[in-house]
Amino acid sequence: MIAVLKHELRSYFHSFTAYVFGAFLLAIVGVGSMLYNLQAAVSNFEYVLSFGSIVFVVIVPILTMRVIAEERRQKTDQLLYSLPITTTQVILGKFAALLVVYLIPLAVISVYPAIFAQFGDVYLPTSYGSLFAIFLMGAALIALRVFISSLTDNQGLAAGVGIAVILFNYYSVSLSEYVSSTAFGSMVAIIVLILILYFVIRYLTKNEVLAYGVCFVLAAVVCVVGWTDSSKFEGLLPRIMKTLSLFERFSAFVSGVFDMTAIVYYLSVAAFFLFLSVQSLEKRRYN
């Protein structure tokens, strides 16, 4: 794992990837600090982080698009499989390298609240709590993007899909106001999600029986619950969209609330997509 971490860090810092990522993140936060903290004389640094969160839609896919896709395109992923380490260690090494690249500009940004506190009343616990939350949110998004990158050998496709997925997650709360809140609409949406789950399971396991079995059971449960008490599905789709939003949970920290459920959610999302990434590589390794 340490060998993979060192190799990935050398790769990022010998190219422009890490520098462009850090410069872009620092530029957005710098512009936000100028607009909010300096020109508008607002002491809440967490507002700057909320303003800059939209940048994750672009910079995270760009940072992670080559993490596995490029390995597959150049066929160097075969070398990883021959190393005396497990697939889990490979994924964790790559993920840790991405976190290091992400942490460097965040370390610079963490100095800003302390500087602003010298010239005004800055509530540091909220500022640093928001910084901690945005680190965890970024880690969850990076884990999601590692999984997407593991599904293809096309960097452009990996980046495009990543931008679309993160952009949808960013606007999911706003979009939830326009989707159907009826029981029938929610049931249809859940059936569509079950179909997507079928394709994911079949791709990762190459076991159609398992995919059919899991999805059949889930679809049967949905149909039975809908038949017996359809009111349980009323407003379910908008609630799901709001619950799954990574960015919406970050707003609690901006409001001054240290939300432990959000922290658990971020860690769970990161662990879940890293697990899927391992399974994706395992499938390719044994094929």
10-residue mean pLDDT series, the chain (287 residues):
79 81 87 81 81 80 72 63 74 89 91 84 86 92 86 74 82 76 77 81 71 84 78 77 84 84 92 87 68
Task: Give the per-residue pLDDT at 54.
Answer: 80
Going from the C-alpha of 225 to that of each of 15, 61, 147, the distances in angstroms are 54, 38, 32
Nearest alpha carbon to residue 134 among 60, 71, 225? 60
4-27 as b/e: b if 16+ CB within 10 A: bbeebbebbeeeebbeebbebbbe
User: Cα(109)–Cα(107) distance, rounded to whole angstroms?
Assistant: 5
Residue 147 lies in a domain: yes
CB of 46 within 8 A of CB of 132? no
CB atoms near residue 111 (< 10 Å): 9
Residue ranges in 117-182 assigned as alpha helix (H): 124-150, 155-175
Task: Give the per-residue pLDDT at 11.
Answer: 79
Residue 186 lies in a domain: no
Residue 207 lies in a domain: no
User: Cα(100)–Cα(18) distance, rounded to whole angstroms?
Assistant: 10
User: Cα(22)–Cα(29) distance, rounded to whole angstroms?
Assistant: 11
Residue 217 lies in a domain: no
pTM (predicted TM-score): 0.85
Which distant-in-sequence residues (6+ apart) come within 8 Å of 277 by Cβ? 68, 91, 143, 146, 147, 150
User: Cα(274)–Cα(88) distance, rounded to whole angstroms?
Assistant: 9
Written as six digits, the tokens of 43 are: 């002491």
CB of 77 within 8 A of CB of 88? no
Residue 204 lies in a domain: no
Print the domain residue range for 58: 2-171+248-286
Which distant-in-sequence residues (6+ apart) come within 8 Å of 90 by Cβ? 1, 4, 80, 83, 281
Number of domains in the chain: 1
Task: Give the per-residue pLDDT at 135.
Answer: 93
Residue 231 lies in a domain: no
Residue 116 lies in a domain: yes
Task: Give the per-residue pLDDT at 270.
Answer: 93
Written as six digits, the tokens of 93 are: 């090494």
Residue 229 lies in a domain: no
- Tokens 């662990």 sit at which residue? 271
CB of 42 within 8 A of CB of 120? no
